[in-house]
Amino acid sequence: MEHKVIQSLAKVSIDKGMFRQWHQKFLSAIGQVKAVYADLIVELVKEIDLGKPIEKVLDDMESSRVDWLEMSHEVYKVLIDKAEGEAYDKIKMISSGAGGKAYATMYKWLTDVSGLGLMEQTRRL
């Protein structure tokens, strides 16, 4: 949170049309803090976009990636600070420190409702 790039990151709310842009800016910001964090988030959303259940993706990521827990704690702090409205409520339902799960839940909710997830799946095919 003390990094200027994170402080300047805009808030995320239920504006599903703007989420794709916010997601890219978030990846850029978190990648400047620690590059492996952006890689983990990219890997996480790729698996979600392929339609895999969130719990299975999270279990696989946690068991196979050394930096997962550290990243998860940091991402949770950023999401709590940057989320507003319904997005904040979704994140707050996740246990503290589970940033990977919070991001996955928020990402799936915002992309599924807007159809961005289906567009991403189509693009990959």
pLDDT in tens, 96-116: 889 999 999 999 888 875 556
Whether residue 29 is predicted with pLDDT greater than 60 in this model: the reply is: yes
- Residue bearing the bigger pLDDT, 112 or 61: 61
Amino acid identity for residue 90 in this structure: K
The pLDDT score that the predictor gives to residue 109 is 86
What's the pLDDT at 120? Answer: 65
What pLDDT score was predicted for residue 6?
85
Distance CA 7, CA 86 (A): 21
pTM assigned to the model: 0.81
Average pLDDT value for residue range 38-43:
94
- How many DSSP H helices and E strands does the chain contain? 8, 0
Give the span between the Cα atoms of 84 and 65, in whole angstroms. 30
CA distance 40 to 45: 9
Q: Which residue has the tokens 């910001």?
A: 29
Q: What is the CA radius of gyration of the chain?
A: 13
Confidence of residue 18 (pLDDT cuts 50, 70, 90): confident
d(CA 104, CA 110) in angstroms, rounded, equals 10
